Amino acid sequence: MQNKRIVLDTNVLISSLSKRGQYYSVWKGFLEGKYTLCISNEILEEYIEIIGQLMTPEIADNVANLLLKSENVELIHPNFRLGLITADPDDNKFVDCAFAANATYIVSNDSHYDVLRTIDFPVLLVLKLKEFLEKLQNGDI
């Protein structure tokens, strides 16, 4: 199966980091190379900021360094600012990255992404974390 290109919203990444958490298989799947994680500089900066606040700056640095060194991370440089999410414009960095990367899915539990289901172009598929985990566990990713 072809490696899927995925964009993980920050809330999803954080939910998957703990070995004791129910979503650790998402992070483990990344570590095992089951999907390619697409990130932009803006996304990486947000990951570092939020992980540093919720966990520790050291954990944030470790995650960032691992991402930057990983063979299954693709650093994307979006050329377009689509502005599709108006309720929380900060979420657009994930949409722009997914569009530029031609990502298979954006994974997020954030309801702001629901607007993408009503837009004909570009077609950007959004999965909730639980749905993504099920696909990962079923071998669909």
- Burial of 72 (C-beta count, 10 Å sphere; 0-12/13-18/19+): middle
HSE of 6, CA atoms in CB hemisphere, 13 A: 29
pLDDT of res. 1: 43
Q: pLDDT tens digits, residue range 17-34?
A: 999 999 999 999 999 999
pTM of full prediction above 0.75: yes
**At 105, phi and psi to the nearest 5?**
-145, 150
Q: How does DSSP classify residue 47?
A: H
Please report which helix (H) or strand (E) contains residue 104, including its range: none
CA 135 to chain centre: 15
> In the structure encoding, which two tokens stand for residue 8, read together?
């993980």
